[in-house]
Amino acid sequence: MLKGNLGYPRVGVQRQLKKACEQYWSSKISHDELMKVAINVEEEGWQTQAKAHIDLIPINDFSLYDQVLDMVLLLGAIPHRYKPLMATLRGSKDLDLEAPADSASTDLYFAMARGYQKNGLDITPMEMTKWFDTNYHYIVPEFTASQSFQIFSNHVLRAFSRAKELNLGGATPKPVLIGPLSFLLLGKEKEEGFDRLDLVSKLVPVYIQILMELQKRGAVWVQLDEPYLALDLNAKAKQLFNQVYSEIHSKVPELKILIATYFDGLADNSATALSLPVTALHLDLVRSPQQLDAVLVLIQQAPQTSPARNVILSLGVIDGRNVWKNDYKKSCELLQKAVAVVGKERIVISPSCSLFHVPFDLDFETDIPKETKGWMAFAKQKLLEISDLHDIISGNEEALHENRKAIESRNRSEIVHNPLVKKRVVEIGPGDAVRKSPFSVRQKLQRERFSLPHFPTTTIGSFPQTTDIRQLRAKLRKGELTQEQYEAAIEKATTDVIRWQEELGLDVLVHGEFERNDMVEYFGEALNGFLFTKNGWVTSYGSRCVKPPVIYGDVHRPNDMTVRWSAYAQLQTTKLMKGMLTGPVTILQWSFVRDDQPRSNTALQIALAIRDEVIALESAGLKVIQIDEPAIREGLPLRQRDWEQYLDWAVKAFRIASSGVLDTTQIHTHMCYSEFNDIIEHIASMDADVITIENSRSQMELLQAFAQFKYPNEIGPGVYDIHSPRVPSIDEILELLTRASAILPPENIWVNPDCGLKTRSWEETKASLSNMVEAARRARNFLIKGTGA
Ligand code: GLN
Ligand code: ZN
């Protein structure tokens, strides 16, 4: 029986990698310095796993920006527009498989992630979207019909060799790659007329080359992540799995390949997965414990010659996506069941997925009360749980007793269960989830009340969170500022940004969200049932990390949460001010959620709290209120059969939150960085008066779906990408608005960036918004009055 792991957090215990990347981007440190930090962080992760006696330690799960982008570089799938940057790259020489990373290739890599505006070049970044149903964002590979592949980076090879040299307490370093089919499926066709899956014949030889190079360097195990095996697959994809893995097996038969699936069960792909000629198969038994029975039956029934007869099962019994202590009794039941069929020698005890989705180490959390802390486990603690489970299955049951006590204490605790909250959820009636009048009536009333111009301009809420702003909070925490001084400083920042928006001529203003550290944390802090970590960072995209709150108990709102700042802001201007809230599904989705009741139940509890806040904002004079739901899509189950049920309660939660107001109060919602096409009718049924939605990276593709569906309400398709420092030109924005007006009724179109501006600098923000406002002005003349700019 082995102890395995699929991946480890990579930003550094002190977020060293984040800081180093950001310093490198602003030219404050050299390439060598960046690499030094990166290697330290990477090796520290390996050592931690070695110390915890993990037998199979993942290598190459580390990344400077994103693991999918690493694959793009590794496989040389560099989109054509970056060619100018490749001119300086290793001259015309072939890649030296042993050479250390040079700054030119690192810069090319970062350019693909972040765009490039230097030396007379202006290259847009690659698209980014959410990693399955997580809050991690990956870079979407781009494919063309004539796409070619070649080994283009040696990171995985060098990392493996380093791991090998370090010895790691005798553990086996196991390189991790995204498998060929998932790599293709994660990407997008950038031209019409071909299917990216057809590229597989060109891709697989390169994978085989990489696997051979790894083998040459001493690799015994390799993990190929094929999460798509746990998703709905068409017949062609299923058949390709067989073809591809047979080919790989025939070329590197001695290499032990572990196929990792996660985030859902194999379900109808079980037979396909078990027929693949690989050494081991990883199952996520947290998301789908029921798949184990089906898999075990298939193994027992498999013909003698089938690979299933010998397959090693990596059993993901420890939740890699949540922070709760494992219930050893439950896990052991699953493990024993498998042991009974395949024997101990064919079991690897593992987390359900990469531990990258949880924070590093609970030991840092000195402020979490002992009671709740006793219920939790972060990445490092989860490694120990793997060891404990290994011991228990091996007959040493010492750890079982303590674990039982912790699990029972949580089940019974009074800080978890609040009868009043439970009662209010039960009493929710159908009337609580509908506005007073239908949209057409509300729209008319709101138009009369607001008299906004065509193409009204607005922003999504946050303005740059400069160091100065963040320091105000730090100083308040340390007692270097009094509450009064802090509030005065935030008031000043808010007033300044209001004046600035007025001068610029934006139509619907925002207060800037300077008082908020984070759009979920801020609300969690004001609600009961949440707890916070000091160092519980997880990567959201690139160098950006978030510290998700932990929902441990019934949620309830003891006081107003945002009224103080929104009411203040509205008093500073005669223009419309948007109240700004985070929606129930997003709060749920971006928190570590309790696993002792259905998510839907927790969502409804949060919805009631937000509803009360919306009503309080209305009473305080806010006429426009935005309820952000950027995470609504990522909560969508990965398997289509589960969609309806999720969408039912998710939409209901939003409607409960938003339906307590008058017809004349305008409800906005905002969504970003997800594929929305397939849930458009549910987005419509949320019935927000206005939706602002990310869209510029996909070049208005999204709007086609909104147009086809005849989306009834008002809509602000994002006109520029805020994840990139690049400033969009007036013409570029006008072009997007022209395209949008061709597909949607122009009188329903709002003009706004893709998302909030908190991560941007003021310089970029001012330049970009000023171009945006000018583009809207020209659009009014040009597209509405038809007079030309
Ligand atoms: N109102 C939030 C902001 O502007 C929305 C952020 C988001 O969608 N992720 O920052
Ligand atoms: Zn957004």
Q: Measure 673 CA to ligand 2 centroid, in angstroms.
A: 7
pLDDT beneath 50: ranges in the chain: 789
**Whole-angstrom Cα distance, residue 269 to residue 287?**
16
Q: Measure 730 CA to ligand 2 centroid, in angstroms.
A: 22
Cross-strand bridge partners of residue 173: 57
The residue assigned the tokens 């402020």 is 367
The CA-atom distances, in angstroms, between 487 and each of 404, 461, 490, 567 are 46, 19, 5, 14
pLDDT value, residue 308: 96
Task: Give the pairing type, strands 56-59 and 666-671.
Answer: unpaired
- Closest residue by Cα to atom 1, ligand 1, is 461
Q: Measure 672 CA to ligand 2 centroid, in angstroms.
A: 4
Q: In the annotation, is 723 catalytic?
A: yes
Q: Which atom of ligand 1 lies nearest, measured to the CA of 671?
A: 8
Ligand 1 is surrounded, with C-beta below 6 A, by 460-462, 513, 519, 580, 628, 630, 670, 672, 755-756, 758
Q: Which atom of ligand 1 lies nearest, measured to the CA of 461?
A: 4
- Closest residue by Cα to atom 4, ligand 1, is 756
Radius of gyration of the chain (CA): 26
- Closest residue by Cα to atom 9, ligand 1, is 630
Q: Are 775 and 752 in contact (CB under 8 A)?
A: no
- Closest residue by Cα to atom 3, ligand 1, is 756
Q: Which tokens sit at 408?
A: 């029972």
**Whole-angstrom Cα distance, residue 20 to residue 230?**
36
Closest ligand to Cα 755: 2
Expressed in percent and rounded to 5, the helix, strand and coil fractions of the chain are: 50, 15, 35
Q: Which atom of ligand 1 lies nearest, measured to the CA of 694?
A: 8
Helix (H) or strand (E) holding 43: helix 31-51
* Domain annotation for the chain: domains and CATH numbers: 2-412 (3.20.20.210), 421-785 (3.20.20.210)
**Whole-angstrom Cα distance, residue 55 to residue 169?**
9
Q: Which atom of ligand 1 lies nearest, measured to the CA of 462?
A: 4
Q: Are 136 and 20 in contact (CB under 8 A)?
A: no
- Closest residue by Cα to atom 6, ligand 1, is 756
Which residue among 513, 521, 676 has the greatest number of ligand 1 atoms within 8 angstroms of its CB, and so is best to mutate? 513
pLDDT tens string 510-520: 999 999 988 99
Closest ligand to Cα 579: 1
Closest ligand to Cα 459: 1
Residues 6+ positions from 316 with CB-CB distance below 8 Å: 6, 262, 282, 283, 284, 285, 286, 350, 351, 352, 353
Closest ligand to Cα 461: 1
Q: Which tokens sit at 76?
A: 């040389």
- Closest residue by Cα to atom 5, ligand 1, is 756
pLDDT value, residue 789: 44
Q: Reduced to 3 states, what is the DSSP secondary structure of residue 284?
A: strand
**Whole-angstrom Cα distance, residue 198 to residue 184?**
9
Which residue among 459, 462, 521, 540 has the greatest number of ligand 1 atoms within 8 angstroms of its CB, and so is best to mutate? 462
Q: Measure 284 CA to ligand 2 centroid, in angstroms.
A: 30
Q: Measure 147 CA to ligand 1 centroid, in angstroms.
A: 36
pLDDT tens string 595-652: 999 999 999 999 999 999 999 999 999 999 999 999 998 899 999 999 999 999 999 9
In single-letter form, the type of residue at position 399 comes to: A
Phi, psi for residue 99 in degrees, rounded to 5: -70, 145
Q: Measure 677 CA to ligand 2 centroid, in angstroms.
A: 16
Closest CA to 715 of 734, 688, 755: 688
Closest ligand to Cα 578: 1
Rounded to two decimals, what is the model's pTM? 0.91
**Whole-angstrom Cα distance, residue 763 to residue 261?**
44
Report the sign of the C-alpha dihedral through residues 587, 321, 286, 635, in that order: positive
Angle (nearest 5°) at CA 92 between 88 and 96:
95
Angle (nearest 5°) at CA 424 between 422 and 429:
125
Closest CA to 546 of 518, 526, 584: 518
Q: Which atom of ligand 1 lies nearest, measured to the CA of 626?
A: 1
Q: Are 237 and 185 in contact (CB under 8 A)?
A: yes
**Whole-angstrom Cα distance, residue 463 to residue 246?**
53
- Closest residue by Cα to atom 10, ligand 1, is 756
Q: Which of 282, 357, 390, 723 is catalytic?
A: 723
pLDDT value, residue 677: 85
Q: Measure 100 CA to ligand 2 centroid, in angstroms.
A: 37
Q: Measure 37 CA to ligand 1 centroid, in angstroms.
A: 30
The CA-atom distances, in angstroms, between 517 and each of 277, 320, 756 are 49, 26, 13
Q: Which atom of ligand 1 lies nearest, measured to the CA of 582?
A: 1
